[in-house]
């Protein structure tokens, strides 16, 4: 790992950190260290670093802004890529939006609305980055990424760059082929429609107010923890099971929204995992429905 680190630093590809605590890079404020954390300066630097990492046959993972992910307490072996400032570009061409993978998905919705473009209103309450939203087919309020994405630019493990359409991404509920294919989203192009700025702003404000009133935004969390089962809502099932406010270690089922787990200040990843398992068991016993996690669990215990 020392040789790899040395070569990465010498390649001048951006920030290279070793044994970096991932609790500093996740919205849950939880997670052990990454052997190497890379914040590449741009796509060229990312491609160069991937070739070096590939040469050493070291495993790698991508971390955007660290929402919707739980990093285990043992951390992540190998390389973690964090796409940040070098991937935060945004531009508009008529009704199309070009956004870097590191751009905030919420801010993207706001900026599109200011341009009078409709189609991204649903994203106004979804934390994380554009790249993460494509990876997970993020959605809310009856819409999702698959409905508005024209294509995503993806850098594959072998250095090849592909433009992947919604069809080739094989989108389904909170899922894409990227969860099985080794590649990194570097940019996404969205096809929107011209709309009324006032109506777009009204919808955005409604979503924002609902989010503020119903979600624990002042505490470290990762967004929705479980997928909604067909025809129902995970939050309703958890709340109806009497689990709102239930605590294990430093992790707690939010008192505001039962499908959120919050870090009360000293939670470990194991606390969260234990609480998730307890929630799944209780809901299954009461409703005969086994909840499926929406958050990605990565790293070593």
Q: Which residues contact 80 (CB under 8 A, 6 or more apart)?
A: 20, 22, 34, 36, 37, 38, 60, 61, 62, 63
Q: Last residue of some domain: 85, 116, 132?
A: 85
Instruction: Note the pLDDT of residue 109.
Output: 94
List, for residues 89-143, the tens digit of each pLDDT value: 999 999 999 999 999 999 999 999 999 999 999 988 787 899 999 999 988 888 8
**76 in Cβ contact with 82 (< 8 Å):** no
CATH code of 78's domain: 3.30.43.10
Q: State the pLDDT confidence band at 7, using cuts at 50, 70 and 90.
A: very high
Looking at residue 215, its pLDDT comes to 85
For the annotated catalytic residues, the residue numbers are 174, 224, 294
Mean pLDDT calculated for residue range 254-282: 97
pLDDT attached to residue 217: 81
User: What's the CA gap between 94 and 194, in Å, rounded?
Assistant: 9
pLDDT in tens, 176-235: 999 888 899 999 999 999 999 999 999 888 888 887 888 888 899 998 999 999 999 999
Q: 251 is in which domain, residue-wise?
A: 218-294
| Nearest Cα to Cα of residue 76 among 66, 85, 84 | 66
pLDDT, position 211:
79
pTM: 0.89
Domain count, the chain: 3
Residues written for the chain = 301
Same domain, 195 and 93: yes
Same domain (yes/no): 93, 36: no
């Amino acid at each position: 790992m020392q040789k790899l680190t040395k070569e990465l630093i010498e390649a001048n590809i951006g920030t290279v950190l070793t044994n970096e605590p991932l609790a500093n890079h996740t919205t849950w404020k939880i997670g052990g260290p990454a052997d190497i954390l890379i914040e590449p300066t741009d796509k060229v630097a990312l491609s160069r670093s991937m070739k070096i990492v590939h040469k050493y046959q070291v495993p790698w993972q991508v971390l955007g802004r660290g929402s919707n992910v739980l990093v285990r307490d043992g951390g992540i072996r190998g390389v973690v890529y964090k796409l940040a400032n070098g991937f935060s570009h945004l531009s508009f061409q008529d009704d199309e939006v070009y956004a870097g993978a590191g751009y905030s998905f919420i801010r993207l919705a706001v900026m599109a609305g200011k341009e009078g473009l409709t189609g991204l209103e649903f994203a106004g309450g979804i934390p994380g980055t554009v790249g993460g939203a494509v990876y997970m087919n993020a959605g809310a309020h009856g819409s999702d990424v698959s409905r508005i994405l024209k294509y995503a630019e993806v850098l594959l493990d072998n250095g090849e760059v592909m433009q992947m359409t919604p069809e080739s991404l094989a989108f389904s509920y909170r899922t894409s082929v990227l969860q099985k294919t080794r590649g990194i989203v570097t940019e996404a192009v969205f096809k929107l429609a011209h709309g009324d700025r006032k109506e777009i702003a009204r919808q955005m404000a409604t979503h924002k107010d609902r989010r503020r009133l119903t979600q624990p935004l002042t505490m470290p969390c990762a967004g929705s923890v479980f997928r909604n089962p067909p025809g129902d809502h995970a939050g309703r099932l958890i709340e109806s099971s009497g689990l709102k406010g239930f605590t294990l270690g430093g992790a707690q089922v939010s008192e505001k929204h039962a499908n959120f787990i919050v870090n009360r200040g000293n939670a470990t990843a194991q606390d969260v995992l234990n609480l998730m398992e307890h929630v799944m068991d209780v809901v299954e016993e009461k409703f005969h429905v086994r909840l499926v996690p929406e958050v990605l669990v990565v790293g070593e215990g």
